[in-house]
Structure 1
Amino acid sequence: MDVYLPIANLSVDGFVIVALGALTGVLSGLFGVGGGFLTTPLLIFYGIPPTVAAASAATQVTGASVSGVLAHTKHDGVDYRMGGVLVAGGLLGAVLGALLFRFFQSVGQIDVVINVLYVLMLGTIGGLMLRESLESIVARRQGQAPVAKRRRHHPLVAALPYRWRFYRSGLYISPLAPLILGTLIGILTMLMGVGGGFMLVPAMLYILGMSGQVVVGTSLYNILFVTIAATMIHALTTQAVDLVLAALLLLGSVLGAQFGTKIAFRLKPDLLRVTLATIVLLVALRMLYGLGIQPDEIYTVAPL
């Protein structure tokens, strides 16, 4: 089914785009990530311009997050107070990210910046997650029960003033910590078209020290509002949001998120982490390969 994308200015197979949306929706429900970290690279591999892919993926992530938040709310898996602080930081980060996006776009380097950010972020996060997961699996196979690490916030977080109680997360920390974290995620959302969950989830666990029971749901809650803001800002400033592309992605992602959430409550956490880490590293390697090869067309002409 050929579908014309007016902003990307090309025709695509609609079923392929819907399938990509379904795949990232499943990841959203499984891991608490918006799925944009995979959507944007796959769209680029498929031939969508990086700027359009990043802006439109943020819209798709919104749909997947709505579905995921509703599913986790049923299991009381969302810390709304923590999520509110993260969202406040995310909105600020979205504005700052928009300014950076326009700057790199004006100097003709936004495509390179998007690809380099993906290689660095995905490579680092994927490597750390894979190492920890494999260590845990090896310990179990050797008959050694892995020592459960006590969730405790980072010493820098403990040093921040004005502490609040986040009851669902089991924390008594300064709201400045999640506010700063949310700001960084908001910047990434604007630049990369991601919800930021692939960074937010580990940061909530190992920096803020949140309870694992509410991490996924709270991550999706933050992603929901930040991606809405990112989509609106992109539509008003960069004009890179392709609504036809976003609609096709949403069609698949909303259904995929519900399916992924059901699987998440049945599979072992170690297996989930290894799977996510492997996917992240494979995408990073493919992006790195794309940066190193000569493109089919060295020069492009774009309207001013």
Structure 2
Amino acid sequence: MDLYLPIANLSVNALVIVALGFGVGLLSGMFGVGGGFLTTPLLIFYGIPPTVAAASAASQVTGASVSGVFAYFRRGGVDVHMGLVLVVGGVLGSIAGAFLFQILRASGAIDTVIAILYVLMLGSIGGLMLHESIQSVRVSRGARMAPARKRRHHPLVAMLPFRWRFYASGLYISPLAPLILGFFTGILTMLLGVGGGFILIPAMLYLLGMGTRVVVGTSLFQILFVTAAATMVHATTTKAVDIVLAVLLLLGSVAGAQIGARLAQKAKPENLRLILAVIVLLVAMRMLLGLVWRPDEIYSVEFVG
């Protein structure tokens, strides 16, 4: 069943887009990531223009996060206090990212910048995740001893002033740390259409020192509001949001997020991280191939008698 996308200016198979949204929503519920880091490159592979893919993916991430946040709220897995600080930083970052997006778009470099950022970001994050997940799998199988637990939060975070208590996370740190982290992910949300969960979760664990019980839910809480703000900014400034594409993605992602949240309770965390790391690296390699490989003949003419 083909549908026409008015902003992307092409026709797509609706079932393929819904299935793509379902798969990304599944990952959102399982790993606490918005899924935009996969949605945008997959849409680009399908033929959607990068600017439209990035802007529309942000709205899809919003829908997937709504479903996931409710699932974690019911289990008390959201630090609302920490999440609100992250949201403030994310909204400010979205506004800054909108100006940067407009500058790059006016220069004609936005598509290339999006692809390069994805290759660098997914390659580095995927490599670190793969290394960490392989170590975790070895520990779970008794092949090596678990490393000694390090200090709860990074020394740079401990140096920041104006400390607050975040009771759900068990932290006493400066709100400037999550504010800066939220600002950075807000910029990424505007430029790449990502929720930022694949950066937020490691940062909350290893930089802020948050407890694992509330990390995934708090990540989804921040992603929900920041991607909603980014979608509104895109719709009013860049005008690159394709509502038809966004609705198709949402249909699949909302259902996928609920199923993913249930699966996450049954599967081993180290195995889930290993699977996600492999997926991220595969997408990075495919994006890199699109940047460096070109066909021998870009244009071809066929005569039909």
Q: CA deviation at 1:142?
A: 4.2
Asked if 1:237 is matched to 2:237, the reply is: yes
Superposition map of 1:135-150 within 5 A:
135-147=135-147, 149-150=149-150
Give the equivalent residue in structure 1 for 2:29. Answer: 29
Superposition pairs for residues 196-235 of structure 1, below 5 Å? 196-235=196-235
Distance (Å, rounded) in 2 between the aligned partners of 1:103 and 1:93: 15
Whole-Å Cα distance in 2 between the matches of residues 221 and 296 of structure 1?
A: 47
**Any residues of structure 2 matched to 1:145-224 within 5 Å, and which?**
145-147=145-147, 149-150=149-150, 152-224=152-224
RMSD across aligned positions (CA)? 1.4
Give me the TM-score of the superposition, normalised by structure 2. 0.95
Do the aligned partners of residues 297 and 242 (structure 1) sit closer, same or farther apart at CA in structure 2, a change above 3 Å counting?
Answer: farther
How many Å separate the matches in 2 of 1:223 and 1:75? 18
**Amino acid paired to 2:130:** L
Residue 144 of structure 1 and its aligned partner are, at CA, apart by: 3.8
Q: Secondary structure at the match of 2:266?
A: coil
Partners of 2:248 and 2:51 lie apart in 1 by 18
Q: Is the contact made by 1:151 and 1:205 (CA closer than 8 Å) also made in structure 2?
A: no
- TM-score, length basis structure 1: 0.96
Greater mean deviation of Cα atoms: 145-154 or 32-41: 145-154
- Equivalents in 1 of 2:195, 2:20: separation in Å? 16
Distance 1:75 1:142 in 2: 31
Please give the alpha-carbon distance, in whole angstroms, between the structure 2 residues aligned to 1:289 and 1:137.
Answer: 30
Taking the aligned partners of 2:236 and 2:26, their CA distance within structure 1 comes to 30
CA distance in 2: counterparts of 1:233 and 1:294, whole angstroms? 34
Q: 2:75 aligns to what SS in structure 1? A: coil
Q: Alignment partner of 1:209: what SS?
A: coil
SS across alignment from 1:265:
helix
Q: How many residues align?
A: 299
Deviations along 1:24-71, one digit per CA (max 9) or x if unpaired, are: 000000000000000000000000000000000000000000000000
Shift of 1:141: 3.0
Shift of 1:283: 0.5
**Gaps spanning 5+ residues in structure 2: where?**
300-305
Q: Contact 1:151/1:206 (CA < 8 Å) preserved in 2? A: no
Q: Look up the match of 1:302.
A: none
Quote the offset at 1:295 in angstroms.
Answer: 6.5
For the residues of structure 1 that align with 2:73 and 2:150, how far apart are their CA atoms? 25
CA contact (8 A) 1:119 1:287 kept: yes
Q: Structure 1: which 5+ runs fail to align? A: 300-304
Residue in structure 1 matched with residue 115 of structure 2 by the alignment: 115
1:271 counterpart = 2:267: no
Provide the secondary structure at the position in 2 that maps to 1:48. Answer: coil
Q: Give the deviation of 1:147 after TM superposition.
A: 3.6
Q: CA deviation at 1:133?
A: 1.1
SS in 2 for 1:172: strand
8 Å Cα contact 1:58/1:231 also seen in 2: yes
Q: Would you say the 8 A contact 1:151–1:210 is kept in 2?
A: no
Alpha-carbon distance between aligned partners in 2 of 1:296 and 1:24, rounded to the nearest angstrom: 34
